[in-house]
Amino acid sequence: MSARHLARIHGTEEDKVNCPFYFKIGACRHADRCSRIHHRPAFSQTILIKHIYRHPIREAELTAAREGRSVDGIAIDEEKAREEFLAFFEDFFEELSKFGRLEALHICDNLGDHMIGHAYAKFSEEEEAADALNVMNGRYYDGRRMEVEFSPVTDFREARCRDFDEDTCRRGGFCNFMHIKPVPMCLIRDMEDEAEEERRREEMDRQERRRREERRSHRRERRDKDRSSRRDRKRSRSRSRSEGN
């Protein structure tokens, strides 16, 4: 089998070695039991924060189960759920933007155990994604320990469910493609502008600190030079007196 053919089928249904769902979505319902290989990248522009968003339907089901009530026909307050989701999105966008420029932040609306609550963040640079992973992995948010890993997903057009985007997906929350929760573009633009302004302020602060440090360094060098000159003059006078005696 030629290398060209292997490259063409990589990550597709024709590929009998590599898992197409993990390649496209960064998640697979079979997890480690999958018969195909999940190639976990060592570096990526995209990080996955696993199961961090508390899906309102799953939370309502867990509450009903604890209280001994049926989980069938669970109803949620849609307006409250929307407000809580947008607050969650803003929290994460603001925090992640500290590491670099975000090209995308997507929160899954899926209910399948392998995808529920997943948050995908794509940065403009791999180094920014690595910084975010190193800092956030193991930290806590809303009582949950964050599990962060690099994701192979960099093109969300292949990962997202087009039927969900058109409100026609028949598989519902258990679809194996991403049901990306919609966020108003005006909110995203506002947060991008705020993050960019914050980065500019931080860069200006860094430059000012650098200038202050350079001035301090220059003053130290000048003081050291003056001390050295005074010592040299003192030695010279001492030698002159010794020679005169």
Average pLDDT of the chain is 88
| Closest alpha carbon to 41 in 52, 51, 26, 29 | 26
Categorise residue 63: left if φ over 0, alpha if ψ from -120 to 50, beta otherwise. alpha
At CA 165, angle to CA 46 and CA 52, rounded to 5? Answer: 40
Look up residue 31 and give its DSSP letter: G
3-state helix, strand and coil shares in percent for the chain, rounded to the nearest 5: 55, 10, 35
Contact 141, 53 (CB under 8 A): no
**pLDDT at 10 exceeding the cut of 60:** no
Closest CA to 117 of 88, 157, 91: 88
The rounded percent of the chain whose pLDDT value lies above 90 is 61
For residue range 62-118, list pLDDT tens digits in order: 988 888 888 887 889 999 999 999 999 999 999 999 999 999 999 999 999 999 999
Distance CA 121, CA 103 (A): 8
Highest mean pLDDT of the ranges 20-29, 30-39, 117-126: 117-126
Higher pLDDT, 239 or 169: 169
Environment class of residue 134 by beta-carbon count within 10 Å: exposed (0-12), middle (13-18) or buried (19+)?
exposed
Question: In this model, does residue 52 exceed pLDDT 70?
Answer: yes
Nearest to 112 by CA among 16, 182, 25, 38: 25
228 contacts: CB under 8 Å, gap ≥ 6: none
- pLDDT computed for residue 206 by the predictor: 84
* Pairwise pLDDT comparison (3 vs 177), residue with the higher score: 177
Angle at 118 between CA 21 and CA 94, to 5 degrees: 135
